[in-house]
Chains A and B, each alone.
Chain A
Amino acid sequence: MPNKNLVGIFDSDEKMLHAAQKAKDLGLSASDAYTPFPIHGIDEILELKPSILPKVCFFGGATGLLTAFTLQYWVHAVYWPMNIGGKSFTAYPAMVPICFELTVLFAGVSTFFAFLFLRGMHPFKTSPFWGLQTENNKFALVFDLESESKAEKVSSLLNQEGALEIREIIE
């Protein structure tokens, strides 16, 4: 089902934060924001839920650690024991670098794909919010429109707060 959004575009993070706070006070809560860099405090104003990415990262890393350990243990101690420099077959210090690397790799890759999945992004999709210069020097504040009366209030608020431009974007 198409979803109508009203987007206010600002040229500074302070103006955008101020507009978001004002909208929250008036009960017209903004639903999302697109900015060139992370802005402290915006997630509290937008009342965004904490992301599950840290948990994905942790379990990805734990899987990597376990994979690296079992792989090395199975190869070196079970399947093909080899005497290397007179060390024991289960010489744990030698396993640590691989364990470290696979932990980082699994954690990084799983976080990356989980992020794409959670945001509904993939290489063949263009976001309707693309092209607003929010990756450059503009700050976009998104309002989810439920009714026409909200649209009027939102656009007058955005004008008051000094938005450069107001756009309607259908998701």
Chain B
Amino acid sequence: MENSKSFLSSAEKTLCRAFILFGLLALGWTFHKAPQRAWANLLIDNFYFLSLSLSAAVFVSALYLTKAGWATAFRRIPEAITSYLPYGIAIATVSIFAGIKSLYFWTTPQGSQLPGVVAKAIFLNWKAFVSVSLASFALWLFFVRKLISNSRLQDEERDIARTLKNRGVAAAYVVTFALSYSLIAIYWIMSLEPLWYSTLYPWFVFAGMFVNGFASTILLLLWLQKKNYYQDIGAAHYHDIGKLLFAFSIFWVYLWFSQYMLIWYENIPEEVTHFTLRSIGHWAYVFWPNVIMNWLLPFLILLSVAGKKNPKTLFLAAAISAIGHWTDLYLLIMPPLEKTGPVYGLPELLIFGGFIALFVLVFENAFRQAKPYPVGDPLLKESLALHE
């Protein structure tokens, strides 16, 4: 159970730092050549990992709220994922203050004169944008820190009191998160198209990011098992977390289709713009593969019990989902800025690679600070004895 040494070799750490450096260079080059593309990439990648850390906290909260024991053995993985939160918030704060004018058309003098923007001015103004963002940051940090510190303190205290406290924290976090994340999804992403709106939108963004939470937890779990951690976690645990990945990828496509079909059927000019931009012309080459990656492939792979229990197929489905949800965000954020077609190249790859490397280093550091098993949790025994 001793866990102070790193699971990354020094060569792997150097590789991560090299990737961060390449990412920074690519970001700098893009800022020099096309600042808007650089801000968009920063928004996509940072939102991806920020949402990942928030989703991991939602997953941990859900385990507390449902009194679930099956995942307690590897709960330290989603807990360590949340450690990206302060970094995500720092990067987001910089991007909001410095990048708002280049990303959001409604903040420019011409954009703010549009009748559709004037009508929504009480909501769609930069003061509200900034204050909602900062308030959400503060609330997220407060609740997530409380959740994680309670869990870690329990290792020493071995007292059920921390579990009971965390049930309260989890309930408060889930409600706060639902409200604040909805507003963030509307402000940061939906307002890229200020005249278009959909009531389903925040929910849809959340569904995608929550699937990614499960996919990334699976990927990290399988990776840590390769590094000799969690040798007592097996098919029963794979089966359970595989079911969640399977179920929420269906939930994602359910919301995707609910939004798409209504707008396609009504065919009202001001609503249909969102989809004509993405499904007609060059963006269609991203639009349809997006659905295949995020739903069809994981659905077919995970449909049978064997698909969920086998670590190879589970890895495949999780990896496809994780890449798929980057594509999903790319498709939500890029098209209004690049109307003619997808811009994709080295900058996108290198900046995302840099973010992955940063996330891995942050995750490794947080994972090292706590024991790999929550040894004080009363549900740990049940979790380790899990069978079909």
Contacts and interface: CB of A to CB of B under 8 A. Distances in A.
Do the two chains belong together in a single complex? Answer: yes
Interface of A: 40-41, 43-44, 54, 58, 85-86, 93-94, 96-97
A40 B265 contact: no
A125 B386 CA distance: 37
A117 B369 CA distance: 56
Interface in B260-283: 260-261, 264-265, 267
Contact of B264 (A43, A44, A93, A97): A93
A43 B388 contact: yes
B387 A96 contact: no
A17 to B, nearest CB: 11
A94 B257 CA distance: 11
B319 to A, nearest CB: 25
B261 A41 contact: no
B305 interface: yes
Contacts of A58: 303
Contacts, number: 24
Contacts of B388: 40-41, 43-44
Which of A40, A43, A97 has the largest count of B CB atoms less than 10 A from its CB?
A: A40
Nearest to B254: A100
Contact of B257 (A44, A54, A96): A96
The A interface, classified by DSSP as helix, strand, loop or mixed, is: helix
Contacts of B257: 93, 96
Contact of A54 (B260, B264, B267, B305): B305
B387 A40 contact: yes
Interface size band for B: 10 to 19
A29 to B, nearest CB: 19
Contacts of B260: 93
A43 B388 CA distance: 8
Nearest to B260: A93
Nearest to B388: A40
B265 A41 contact: no
A93 B261 contact: yes
Interface in B212-271: 257, 260-261, 264-265, 267
Contacts of B303: 58
Which of B265, B304, B387 has the largest count of A CB atoms less than 10 A from its CB?
A: B265
B265 A85 contact: yes
Contacts of A86: 267
9 closest A-B pairs by beta carbon, nearest first, are: A41-B387, A93-B261, A93-B264, A40-B387, A40-B388, A96-B257, A94-B265, A96-B261, A85-B267
Contacts of A93: 257, 260-261, 264-265
A40 B387 CA distance: 6
Contacts of B265: 85, 93-94
A44 B261 contact: no
Interface in B143-182: none
A168 to B, nearest CB: 32
Contacts of A96: 257, 261
Nearest to A55: B304
B222 to A, nearest CB: 23
Contacts of B305: 54
A26 B265 CA distance: 66
Contacts of B386: 40
Given A93-B261, A94-B261, A97-B261, 9 more contacts: A40-B387, A41-B387, A43-B388, A44-B388, A58-B303, A93-B260, A93-B265, A96-B257, A96-B261
Contacts of A43: 388
Contacts of B304: 54
Contacts of A41: 387-388
